[in-house]
Structure 1
């Protein structure tokens, strides 16, 4: 009976941390905690989407079509091949090759026949109209398709798949980016996501975002821009867990070393 009581106490001691951690984990992994669970429909304010502006070092995918096939072929030549090292997509990881026109340090791109065109600080729609206006002087009824070829976002820290992600379109929000990265782990601080953004004037800012509040859906930083950097900070429990694992490994190594020393001592004594 005494041994049974002792065993029960040990089981309780071992189980208590597991129960506590499971309770806290449910609380920590929830998004939008300020929205009641019983509320079926929650009306949110309409957030106006602002198109990102083109900056130097951006790569633009540009396709110009005309009624003359030979002219279209000439306009399609001269694209820049650029390798985005370490880029990651939802389906693959590794280096990717991106085709497009590089925006130089002066904010210009150089197109075959059309020459240099200033596109820096323009939206993709404005740049499209600028190129169409230039092409109209030489060709009849040109059609211009333009988009970012290197709309990349970096997601690091406590996510399942940290890395650099190249989005297929420019209308990407913070939830999209975290979804590409496999979501925040149980050890990530959802209430303190760091967003580092570079602006058109070259300045950089760090913005703290709280994903446990629904107001993030109305934030001007909800939609991401090219070259945005998201960092998910680990919680204290992750640090404690890492220390516990390290201490356990040290204990195992110490125990194994002591056993080996004892075994060697026994063998020597018998000889």
Structure 2
């Protein structure tokens, strides 16, 4: 990743994209996102009235978490760089296109922020000796990938940015033809694997913690491109039916 010349004292404009709508911000503007604000996402009681803001300071645009409970996953469009934006935290918007994914209750939201003058530009990652890129690579079994796909299916089927309702564990298990016990065991396995790789928010738990873990798994999978829309064919591939019982 190369640095371009330092930004000027006054940043150029940025554009926020959500569900096919575009909002262009001029320097000096402050843009709020939440249940209310400049971008009103949804009448979702789990969502803060004002959750995120975009504002300029010191020659850069910043994404700021002005909420008190929810966090957002922020990544470049290729999923190579990922950060958690906790309540009270802020991140500079340094990529030409930045993806922001977060959840409130069972609903997952995705928006993107585009800047005309990024502070960084991305290089194509170098390849290992075997010709494979290992940046962000997480080896998954077929059943682990199927589990993630079953949970992330509504998000992946959506065109572009927007919001999606995540299925319950029971619905996702039914989609795969698994028992709920088998699904939960596989969910434990994949969450443990990602937790060992440093992905936060995937520790086991019950009640609300279990729901948050499932939501966090989808957030990470979407933001890091662990699963993509083209993978959805696996859910209906008869050749994988045998894999589902493993």
Please say which structure displays the higher CA radius of gyration.
1
Instruction: State the TM-score, normalizing by the size of structure 2.
Output: 0.23
From the two aligned structures, give the one with the greater helix fraction: 1
